[in-house]
């Protein structure tokens, strides 16, 4: 016998911009954030850029009465900056570190040091198991000349892979965070189409907040005008995405964002706007299994074809990244070889008077040392860069390999969908003998 049960949950997501001593009014803003969370008692709070563990511990202490369960995802040198607070028990957690995350020598951008990742928390909400993901992808510093695009696209790929592979047992999937991608960007489309996650902003029955759901707006005093100016009023890069399953039907009843400032407070929470979403779940208990249905639901024909198109586009982007990394690596190798040649030349010049015993050393000693130090510095730094670019290349190539494989699987599915009456046998059906090698050939390099 089936029983239905209605559950309403509120999800809050915010990029806290919590760089101690650098972000403006950091501790004051954490006070305001804590007060709000304590008062509004959302079921699930997803925070990004909580860079200091001390700030997390401060929030945990303040929210002890409203949110009994919390987790801080540790990663990298500084941390992932990701935290979750929940009124429902967190049963289990898992952290997945993205394989690419910018360049260590771009220290002023700082992304590499943050060890960006996606955190998963498994929550028990009544009879349902919710898989809640929180993430923060690599920032976009220039829209027109975006050197980090392949990195962000690979992160989006890894994010969707991680969600798909870890959500098979979930009744309900929620993803919140700062994706640093616009709604129609390649990575966002990949994520939505491949995982089947629905965007709360477009799905919400009622919406209150910034026009077009923008989350980085000119009205916010912390936002750099220069950065947002090319986009008129602002950009939408923070999201709450969700999907249900055979076990739970899910609707987004309302969504709201802050609008640059918060009534009654002198400061906004952050340079990003906060997102609040209300989801209504209709749980069906006393059913068996069904957790897996989600991963194939609504996928046939059109949906799969769409995913195939997007993955093709993503692969092109990753290939551009591979070429770029190869070029950078060979530049590093060439510069290193030059440094080595210079060092050997210097040693040879220095050795001449030493070999012709008794002759005066003509090379000024200070210049000799300085040049040697310079050569060694060049050699050391280019070696490190070479290793770094090799790792980048491996990650990019590895992702490209994964995509090629996934394409094979998708094309199988597509073939299954397109053959009449094959709708239900989608994943079990094999393509005809003739088709398979053609596809493989086209996909192999």
- Show which residues are catalytic: 272
Q: How many CA atoms lie within 13 A of 180 on its CB side?
A: 23
Token pair in block for residue 307: 């995913």
Residues in the chain: 445
CB 275 within 8 A of CB 227: no
Work out how close the CB of 27 gets to its own copies at its nearest, in angstroms, rounded to a whole number. 23
Work out how close the CB of 442 gets to its own copies at its nearest, in angstroms, rounded to a whole number. 15
Q: Which is nearer to its own copies, 13 or 80 (CB)?
A: 80
Q: Which is nearer to its own copies, 345 or 405 (CB)?
A: 405
Q: Which is nearer to its own copies, 120 or 241 (CB)?
A: 120
Q: Name the nearest CA neighbour of 176 among 239, 235, 130, 131.
A: 239
3-class secondary-structure state, position 59? helix
Q: Name the nearest CA neighbour of 244 among 193, 290, 191.
A: 290
307/193 Cα distance (integer angstroms): 6
Work out how close the CB of 417 gets to its own copies at its nearest, in angstroms, rounded to a whole number. 15
Phi and psi for 371 in degrees, rounded to 5? -65, -40
Work out how close the CB of 440 gets to its own copies at its nearest, in angstroms, rounded to a whole number. 8
Q: Which is nearer to its own copies, 220 or 399 (CB)?
A: 399
Work out how close the CB of 377 gets to its own copies at its nearest, in angstroms, rounded to a whole number. 11
Other CB atoms within a 10 A radius of the CB of residue 337 amount to 12
75/97 Cα distance (integer angstroms): 8
Q: Which is nearer to its own copies, 274 or 410 (CB)?
A: 410
Rounded to 5 degrees, what angle do the CA atoms 80, 82, 85 make? 155
Work out how close the CB of 356 gets to its own copies at its nearest, in angstroms, rounded to a whole number. 22
69/47 Cα distance (integer angstroms): 14
Q: How many CA atoms lie within 13 A of 133 on its CB side?
A: 32
CB 201 within 8 A of CB 235: no
332/313 Cα distance (integer angstroms): 29
Q: Which is nearer to its own copies, 71 or 243 (CB)?
A: 71
Work out how close the CB of 213 gets to its own copies at its nearest, in angstroms, rounded to a whole number. 31
Interface residues with its own copies (CB under 8 A) are 71-77, 79, 89-97, 99, 115, 120, 122, 124, 126-127, 129, 161-162, 164-166, 168-170, 246, 288-293, 295, 365, 369, 387, 390-391, 394-395, 397-398, 401-402, 405-406, 408-409, 412, 427-428, 430
252/229 Cα distance (integer angstroms): 31
Q: Which is nearer to its own copies, 224 or 424 (CB)?
A: 424
């Amino acid at each position: 016998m089936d029983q239905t049960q209605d559950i309403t949950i509120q999800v809050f997501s915010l990029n806290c911009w919590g760089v101690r001593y650098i972000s403006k009014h950091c501790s004051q803003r954490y006070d305001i954030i804590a007060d709000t969370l304590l008062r509004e008692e959302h079921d699930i709070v997803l925070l990004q850029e909580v860079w200091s563990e001390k700030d997390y511990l401060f929030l945990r202490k303040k929210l002890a009465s409203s949110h009994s369960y919390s987790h801080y995802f540790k990663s990298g040198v500084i941390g992932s900056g990701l935290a979750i607070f929940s009124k429902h028990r967190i049963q289990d957690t898992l952290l997945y570190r993205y394989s690419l995350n910018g360049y260590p020598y771009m220290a002023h951008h700082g992304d590499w040091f943050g060890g960006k990742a996606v955190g998963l928390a498994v929550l028990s909400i009544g009879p349902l198991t919710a898989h809640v993901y929180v993430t923060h992808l690599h920032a976009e510093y220039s829209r027109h000349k975006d050197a980090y695009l392949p990195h962000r696209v690979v992160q989006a790929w890894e994010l969707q892979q991680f969600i798909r592979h870890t959500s098979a047992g979930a009744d309900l999937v929620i993803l919140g965070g700062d994706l640093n991608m616009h709604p129609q960007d390649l990575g966002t489309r990949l994520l939505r189409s491949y995982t089947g996650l629905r965007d709360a902003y477009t799905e919400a029955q009622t919406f209150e907040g910034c026009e077009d759901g923008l989350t980085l707006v000119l009205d916010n005093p912390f936002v750099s005008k220069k950065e947002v100016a090319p986009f008129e009023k602002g950009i939408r890069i923070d999201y709450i995405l969700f999907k249900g399953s055979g076990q739970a039907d899910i609707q987004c009843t309302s969504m709201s964002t802050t609008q640059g400032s918060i009534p009654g407070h002198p400061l906004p929470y952050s340079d990003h706007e906060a997102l609040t979403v209300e989801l209504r779940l209709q749980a069906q208990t006393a059913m068996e299994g069904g957790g897996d249905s989600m991963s194939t639901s609504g996928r046939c024909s059109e949906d799969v074809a769409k995913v195939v198109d997007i993955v093709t586009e993503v692969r092109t982007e990753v290939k551009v990244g591979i070429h770029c990394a190869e070029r950078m690596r060979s530049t590093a190798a060439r510069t290193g070889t030059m440094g080595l040649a210079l060092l050997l030349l210097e040693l040879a010049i220095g050795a001449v008077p030493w070999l012709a015993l008794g002759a005066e050393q003509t090379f000024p000693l200070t210049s000799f040392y300085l040049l040697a130090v310079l050569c060694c510095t060049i050699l050391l730094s280019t070696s490190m860069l070479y290793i770094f670019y090799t790792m980048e290349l491996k990650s990019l190539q590895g992702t490209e390999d994964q995509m090629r494989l996934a394409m094979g699987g998708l094309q199988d599915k597509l073939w299954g969908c397109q053959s009449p009456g094959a709708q239900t046998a989608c994943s079990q059906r094999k393509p005809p003998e003739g088709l398979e090698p053609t596809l493989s050939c086209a996909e192999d390099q």
